[in-house]
Every structure is written in structure tokens, then in C-alpha cells.
Structure 1
Amino acid sequence: MPDYSYLNVYIPRGTSREAARQLLTDHAEYGDWELDRLRLYPDGTRRVRLRRKIIRVVRTM
């Protein structure tokens, strides 16, 4: 089972869908993050949890 590192992102209300999409796309492309969970609240705020695998180096000697 791989280990993951998590990043919580808060997107305030009033942020357009396009701006939120661009923010998450940038995290995915340049930080190798993937979407783990997205929660949309009734007031319009979004809480997003991103994850990426932790790569452990195995000693060969």
C-alpha cells in the first residue's frame, strides 16, 4: 500500500469555476498532485484535498 502526502486547499466563495479549475490543474501538472476529495459547502466555499505518492528510496548496498 503506497503512502501519500496530502495538501488541503481552501477556495473562497466568489471564485469562478474557471479559476478553481486552473488552480487545481496547476497543482496537478507542476506538483504531481491528484484530487482526493472535494467538498462544496452551501455558502459557495470549496475545500479540496489533494494527494501524491511518497516515493521511498530503497538502499541497494
Structure 2
Amino acid sequence: MEYTYLILNLPRGTTREAARQVMTEHAEYGGWELHTVRVHRDGRRRIQLRKKIIRARSTLHQPA
């Protein structure tokens, strides 16, 4: 399975509710899923989201 990743860096002072809202919007409207969350000592949050890469196969020239 292949994934593409999106990294969100939220500044310190961002509430848990605001961080949850940002992740929810990306999940609902962009199809992203949560991969990791890292909260740094100074309060910054680094959120990594991922989405499956779907590769389309051509069906035009299938062997008989």
C-alpha cells in the first residue's frame, strides 16, 4: 500500500479542540487519516496525516 502524507504544524497555544477541528476537516473533506501526532515541549503540535494512493489501471489493451 502506498500513501501520500500531509504534515500540519500547529503553533503553541493552539487548543486541543482547535487541533481536533483541523484534523476533522481534513478527514471529512480531503479523505485524510491520522498517522501521528507529536506534541513538543514548547507546546507546538506536528500532525502527520496520510491518504492512500490509488493507481488506476488501463483496461483498453487486455490480452485475449
TM-score range, shorter chain: over 0.9
Residues 13-59 of structure 1: CA deviation (Å, up to 9, x unaligned)? 00111111000000000000001111011111000110000110011
2:27 — aligned with what?
Answer: 28
Alignment coverage as a number of residue pairs = 60
- Matches of residues 1-61 of structure 1 in structure 2 within 5 Å? 2-61=1-60
Give unmatched runs, 5+ long, in structure 1: none
TM-score w.r.t. the length of structure 1 is: 0.94
Identity level (%): 57
TM-score between the two structures when normalised by the length of structure 2 = 0.90
CA RMSD of aligned residues (A): 0.6
